[in-house]
Chain A
Amino acid sequence: MSGHWFDGVSPRAAKLLTLLCVALVLFPLIASDYLITVLILILYFAYVGQAWNLMMGFAGQLSLGHALYVGLGAYAAAALYVHFGVSPWIGLWAAMAIAAVAGGVIGFLALRFGVAGVYFAILTIAFAEFARLAFDHWPWVGGSAGFFLPVANYASNDLINLRGSPTMFYYLLLAMTAAALVSCHALLRSRAGYYWLAIRESPEAAQALGVDLFRYKMYVVVLSAAMTSLGGVIFAFYYNNLFPEQVFHISRSIELILAPIIGGIGTLFGPIIGAFLLTTLAEGLGELMRLLGIDVPGVKQVFYGLCLLVVVMFLPDGVWPPLARRLKLEQQRSQGLAER
């Protein structure tokens, strides 16, 4: 089984990956609570970044409204739990279904009316904004005053209702991120994966080779939406509060795409390395500012902007591809898929 998972991964990369997994699994044994919360952030951004990357990195469909799917997933699972006592393990299916339908509607409208490229991106923003306004005025889920989950008793971990310590959420997110990596790796090597890459590179040529553009674009939008919504479920149960102004805000959508952009769009490891770099640097910067006693609002955003600027100027493919070459991780035989 593991042989199949590592299909197309060089032995060296497989070894390093295993080492990383072991380190991450053992991490909570030695880490402080603060470090665990930072790692949770990293894993969260790595996970949702991977989900976004599926759509943009593989199939070339730019979404700037992925906060919509995070928010829908978060509200769906939270509302089911608060109002009906439904376990998030059941709620997540509803979350995925709702996000998938939303993604499907957006995808269908865009494809039906030939909205592509930048205009498609604007459409995704518009839908996230619609959702923000709608949830702001929906009293059933608290409206603009926010929606709150009963705060957990951290003394015991209730895995069934996702009430518990950060360590529990850490392991959950670790499993999700690993699963996302493995599934995206497998997807890339499937027929759909090849078709997505073909669509990204040249839609006309792909179509001339028998690729049904509508079908495969719909697949990727729906899949990415459903995958992103799971991040939302975790978000809701980890933070215990949801405000439309925050969850659906465009800054959330932007924040979510920074990790894959900085790590390397279209690479499997890019979202992970990007999330790690961005979050640790931003947190480190925050710590430094606190130590120096400087309080500048918005410094994190400025920092993100600078990171983006540096990467776009000096590493247009992101951090991961050159790093993979430096670490000699790409396979000898192929420079193509292995590097992804």
Chain B
Amino acid sequence: MAALLNIKGLSKSFSGLKAVQEVSFEVPAGEIVGLIGPNGAGKTTCFNLIAGVYRPDAGEIRLAGSRIDGWRPDQICRAGIGRTFQLVKPFAGLTVMENVIVGALNQVGSVRAAQGISEHLIEQLGLAGKRHAAAGSLTLPDRKRLEVARALATAPRMLLLDEVMAGLRPTETDRMVALFRDLNASLGLTILMIEHVMRAVMALSRRIIVLHHGQVIAAGAPDEVTRNPAVLECYLGEEAL
């Protein structure tokens, strides 16, 4: 299958600290790929480079063949990449519904149509009872769900999920996993996810990429990667066996 997202030689330093070095990987269309690694490995920096928050020092990012590196975040969103933030950024003073409408206005011009889309997504994410609550009043798990609903509302071809499972209870995690699996199966939504909750990563990913010190140290099928000694040493630990 053709790669939807193609990353080649991506590098980014912050005042001398090499956060991401020569990272290359592909995310095939319609697949779910996990991006794992210890804290400070450069996962979120990688996301921010893809999403246009930072401009790469070197390397290329291609979406369906066209270069998108150096684009602004809103342009990248319009090109079809939706993202969530690890540190959630709800529009605190707006209601849940209004939050999602802002996302939905990326795919439709009229507010009425955006409301319809949002209503459906809020339902899907289990936020229906809170649709008129201020986003600032939500609990952390609900805020995570709101992040996902908002990103999905932009009608992305590809979704970047930054630790959306963190802080969720196991049953909630399973529900979220089921949702992504469903979106992937029904819409062919491509997902790249940063996740520490291995239960979710293993359940969803067809491929896993492991970052360590800003470099890719392993990539492949989940069972392959989890047996890789380098990965075990730096991230998963012996007990994962």
Contacts and interface: CB of A to CB of B under 8 A. Distances in A.
Contacts of A194: 98, 101-102, 105, 111, 114
Given A189-B111, A204-B89, A209 B106 contact: yes
Interface in A170-222: 189-191, 194-195, 197-198, 200-202, 204-213
B67 interface: no
A334 interface: yes
Interface in A281-337: 333-337
Contacts of A209: 74, 77, 102-103, 106, 150-151, 153-154
A190 B98 CA distance: 12
Query: Size range of the interface on B?
Result: 35 or more
Given A197-B94, A201-B94, A334-B95, A210 B74 contact: yes
B48 to A, nearest CB: 10
Contacts of A213: 74
Interface string B100-123: 011101100111001000000000
Interface in B18-48: none
Interface of B: 51, 53, 72-74, 77-78, 82-83, 85, 89-95, 97-98, 101-103, 105-106, 109-111, 114, 132-134, 150-151, 153-154
A336 B105 contact: no
B73 A208 contact: yes
Given A209-B103, A336-B132, A202 B74 contact: no
29 contacts: A191-B109, A194-B98, A194-B111, A195-B102, A197-B102, A198-B102, A200-B93, A201-B90, A201-B93, A201-B94, A202-B91, A204-B73, A204-B89, A205-B90, A205-B91, A207-B73, A207-B74, A209-B77, A209-B103, A209-B150, A209-B153, A209-B154, A210-B74, A210-B105, A210-B154, A211-B74, A212-B74, A336-B97, A336-B98
A191 B111 contact: yes
Contacts of B53: 204
B71 to A, nearest CB: 11
Interface residues of A, number: 26
Nearest to A206: B102
A335 B106 CA distance: 24
Given A190-B111, A194-B101, A194-B111, A208 B51 contact: yes
A210 B90 CA distance: 15
Contacts of B77: 207-210
A196 to B, nearest CB: 10
A66 B200 CA distance: 53
A191 B89 contact: no
Contacts of B114: 191, 194
Contacts of B106: 209-210
B94 A198 contact: yes
Nearest to A201: B91
B78 A210 contact: yes
B233 to A, nearest CB: 35
A335 B53 CA distance: 33
A121 B110 CA distance: 33
A208 B111 contact: no
A205 B89 contact: yes
Contacts of A189: 111
Contacts of B134: 335-336
A76 B179 CA distance: 60
B84 to A, nearest CB: 9
Interface string A209-237: 11111000000000000000000000000
B130 to A, nearest CB: 12
Given A201-B92, A205-B85, A209-B150, A337 B102 contact: no
A144 B114 CA distance: 53
B159 to A, nearest CB: 12
A46 B101 CA distance: 30
Residue among A189, A191, A337 with max Cβ neighbours from chain B (10 Å): A191
Residue among A190, A206, A207, A209 with max Cβ neighbours from chain B (10 Å): A209
Nearest to B112: A189
Residue among A204, A205, A206, A333 with max Cβ neighbours from chain B (10 Å): A205
